[in-house]
Structure 1
Amino acid sequence: MGSNGKLVLDFTGKVVLITGAASGIGLATAKMFCRLGACLALVDQDENGLMSILQKCRKIGCEPYGICGDLIVPEEVECIAKKTTERFGAKLDVLVNGAGILHEGTLQSTELECFSHVMDTNVKSAFYLSKLLLPQLLRSKGCIVNVSGVCGLRTFPDRLSYNMSQAAMDQFTRSMALDFGTKGLRVNSVNPGFICTNLHKASGMDDKTYASIVKSSEKSHALGRIGKPSEVASAICFLASPLASFVTGVTLPVDGGKQVMCPP
């Protein structure tokens, strides 16, 4: 409760680690946690992007800790966990597994190497980092918020490896929630729909296709539009907060109603 009696989100004194923090949903989440008073550890492999979000957070009023590392390299994940522990000791309250990539392709067009890269980036990295930081999270009775996707809840064509990775993340979320609930650790995921980030263009989508999807969202989303990164960040902060103290094992669609729409 705030001084005026209203419910507020306040992460003052809480340590929050966010992966994929240099762009899109991760960036919006970092800025929001910063405004809410959290002590931040921000992780990304894009050094320039990481420096940019560190500067943005400093302007907001916090002093985040940046760690540049490639999450698909086990040794670098171990380094990220070590640096976080060295900086904040045994304290970690929230882990946001936000790093991920999008890949389009069917079984016929997806090579094994590409499939492995998607699974390593979207699933294995979250698994290993969570495993390494689990002792701190159990000690604080903290929480994990995984960034999955609507493709974990509904199947979309030409996205075989991505669909599989998101379904795996959702099972990872539910499994951890069951395994560690009695120890006080909450684990949830957000499942964004089409969000205005650089994720799609980074996957190779051209401007014309992107514009077409944005236009079609008027009919393919119940709310008639695509989403903003800040809208997903709000859901992440809610799930990480005491307001969601009795919520675990949830895969929360933040998709403008995309997953409840019937196919055209």
Structure 2
Amino acid sequence: MEFNFENKVIIITGGSSGIGAETAKMFAQYKAKLCLVGRNESRLQNVAQHCELISGNVPLCILVDLIQAGSCEKVITKTIEKFKRIDILVNCAGKLKLGTLHESDIDVFDELMAIHLRVPYYLTQLASPHLIKSKGNIVNIGSSYLERYKPGFLPYNVSKNALEKFTRHAAMEMVTEGVRVNIINPGMTRTNLIHNLNIDEGDVNYAYDNLIAELGLKKILEPKEVAKLILLAACDMMPNMTGSSLKIDGAVIV
């Protein structure tokens, strides 16, 4: 399957690592013009350099914490200043924090709702006029864990469920404008999310081994596999696919 993203302007949040980074590199193979958004400067620059080597196009790198005031506006403004248009928005920025109703501070809930819902909502709102002009599309990154009920995942799952509902409603609002909105729900993927739980390096593989037991295929997803599905959702091959939730998780045992 050959995609055509040549000269398409694509914003990827969470572009410095994991699924976002692999998605950026894959878009670069098809000559896309990239705006990469992340919080880690060295990783963001490494991804940008890799993309430039692949495509010859120099990505725009925006180093921001998206939940901070003014950050979403900066992403859209800087992208338009450099590229004059926006064709695709990939809301990939995310965070995993464990929390329960009785043991967690409300700040955990607020933080996850901010990064998983408020940021995609606001970026979509800000990017909409430009996406309407380009007849572009939006791909949100959710989680197949939103269908599961496990202790410790309450605020994470609530925020990802909210993102899926937002995707479906946004798709309905934008369908008459020619803008598609879809969501990809990956299962456990080999990214930095587990490291963000402050697990010792030596325990990371142990954590993955335990997670594999819950997967029908007994394999952790690799970011490249999820990136391929993101490109499929973002391409123009299926113009009637909007408001869709696409799951890739190796048959998670609910």
Shorter-chain TM-score: which interval? Answer: over 0.9
The CA distance in 1 between the partners of 2:132 and 2:149, in whole Å, is: 34
The CA distance in 1 between the partners of 2:142 and 2:170, in whole Å, is: 15
In the other structure, the counterpart of 1:196 is 190
1:71 partner amino acid: L
Conserved 8 A contact 1:173-1:249:
yes
The CA distance in 2 between the partners of 1:153 and 1:248, in whole Å, is: 21
1:57 partner amino acid: C
Equivalent of 1:146, from 123, 129, 140?
A: 140
Conserved 8 A contact 1:151-1:167:
no
In the other structure, the counterpart of 2:61 is 66
CA displacement, residues 34-57 of structure 1 (integer Å, 9 cap, x when unaligned): 001111111112112111111111
In the other structure, the counterpart of 2:75 is 80
- After TM superposition, list the pairs within 5 Å mapping 1:41-190 onto structure 2: 41-61=35-55, 62-89=57-84, 91-190=85-184
Conserved 8 A contact 1:217-1:225:
no
1:16 partner amino acid: I
In the other structure, the counterpart of 1:3 is none
In the other structure, the counterpart of 2:24 is 30
Number of matched residues?
Answer: 253
2:48 partner amino acid: L
Equivalent of 1:249, from 240, 243, 247?
A: 243
In the other structure, the counterpart of 1:9 is 3
RMSD of Structure 2 on Structure 1 (CA): 1.5
Conserved 8 A contact 2:112-2:155:
yes
Which stretch shows the higher mean deviation, 162-171 or 118-127? 118-127
Which stretch shows the higher mean deviation, 11-20 or 62-71? 62-71
The CA distance in 2 between the partners of 1:104 and 1:209, in whole Å, is: 17
CA displacement, residues 216-242 of structure 1 (integer Å, 9 cap, x when unaligned): 454421222010000110000000001
Conserved 8 A contact 2:99-2:108:
no
Which stretch shows the higher mean deviation, 238-247 or 214-223? 214-223
Q: CA deviation at 1:156?
A: 2.7
The CA distance in 2 between the partners of 1:171 and 1:155, in whole Å, is: 18
Q: CA deviation at 1:256?
A: 1.1
What 5-or-longer segments of structure 2 have no aligned partner?
Answer: none
What 5-or-longer segments of structure 1 have no aligned partner?
Answer: 1-6
CA displacement, residues 116-167 of structure 1 (integer Å, 9 cap, x when unaligned): 1111122111111111111001111111000111122333321111011100
Q: Could you say what secondary structure the match of 1:252 adopts?
A: strand
What's the % identity of the aligned pairs? Answer: 37
The CA distance in 2 between the partners of 1:207 and 1:158, in whole Å, is: 21
TM-score by length of 1: 0.91
Equivalent of 1:214, from 202, 208, 220?
A: 208
